[in-house]
């Protein structure tokens, strides 16, 4: 048995090693960059799952840029929600908030008129008491119900 190798392995147990080409950077800064990268990857993963967005036809530059832009927006929303929950509801994760609010929906109710047109009533579902509590806790408000419109 090679005691020197065993000693080296035991010293590294429970530690995370990063290797980088940024040799002039402070290790704490590198760690922050790495943690930010994991958050971006997580937001992107959740975006693909929640919105059913998949990288398709990435051989075109405009589609690559659009995909990166949507992923960046997802990351921005994730970070904003994370900061909101940290400040107003420390026990909740952004994922839990999104899962709770998934029950709220926006629908268009189409009512035919006698002259062949449709009265369109865009409406969001009414929040449950749990949703109202969470909205109040996060200091958020649902928008007013949109005004009806006439469609041909």
- Mean pLDDT to the nearest integer, 78-89: 89
Q: What is the mean pLDDT of the chain?
A: 85
Q: How confident is the model at residue 91 (pLDDT cuts 50, 70, 90)?
A: confident
In the chain, what are the domain boundaries? 3-92, 103-151
Could you tell me how far CA 106 lies from the centroid of its own chain? 19
Q: How confident is the model at residue 147 (pLDDT cuts 50, 70, 90)?
A: very high
pLDDT-wise least confident of 11-20, 74-83, 135-144: 11-20
- Mean pLDDT to the nearest integer, 82-110: 89
Q: How confident is the model at residue 150 (pLDDT cuts 50, 70, 90)?
A: very high
pTM beyond 0.85, yes or no: no
What is the structure's pLDDT at 12? 77
- Mean pLDDT to the nearest integer, 21-47: 83
- Model confidence pLDDT, tens digit, residues 112-135: 999 999 999 999 999 999 999 999
Four-point Cα dihedral 56, 59, 62, 65, nearest 10: 70
DSSP for the chain, written as a single string:
--HHHHHHHHHHTT------S-TTS-HHHHHHHHHHHHHHHHHHHHHHHHH------TTSHHHHHHHHHHHHHHHHHHHHHHHHHHHH-TT--HHHHHHHHTT--EEEEEEE-TTS-EEEEEEEPPPPHHHHHHHHHTT--PPPPPPPEEE-
- Asked if residue 49 has pLDDT above 80, the reply is no
What is the structure's pLDDT at 53? 61
């Amino acid at each position: 048995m090679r005691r020197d190798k065993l000693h080296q392995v035991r010293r590294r147990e429970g530690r995370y090693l990063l290797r980088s080409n940024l040799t002039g950077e402070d290790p704490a800064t590198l760690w922050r960059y790495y943690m930010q990268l994991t958050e971006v990857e997580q937001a992107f993963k959740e975006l693909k799952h929640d919105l059913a967005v998949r990288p398709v036809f990435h051989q075109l530059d405009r589609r690559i840029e659009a995909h990166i832009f949507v992923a960046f927006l997802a990351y921005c929303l994730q970070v904003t929600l994370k900061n909101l929950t940290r400040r107003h509801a420390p026990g909740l994760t952004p994922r839990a908030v999104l899962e709770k609010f998934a029950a709220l929906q926006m629908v268009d109710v189409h009512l035919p008129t006698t002259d062949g047109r449709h009265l369109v009533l865009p409406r969001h579902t009414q929040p449950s008491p749990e949703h109202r509590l969470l909205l109040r806790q996060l200091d958020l408000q649902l928008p007013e119900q949109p005004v009806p419109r006439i469609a041909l």
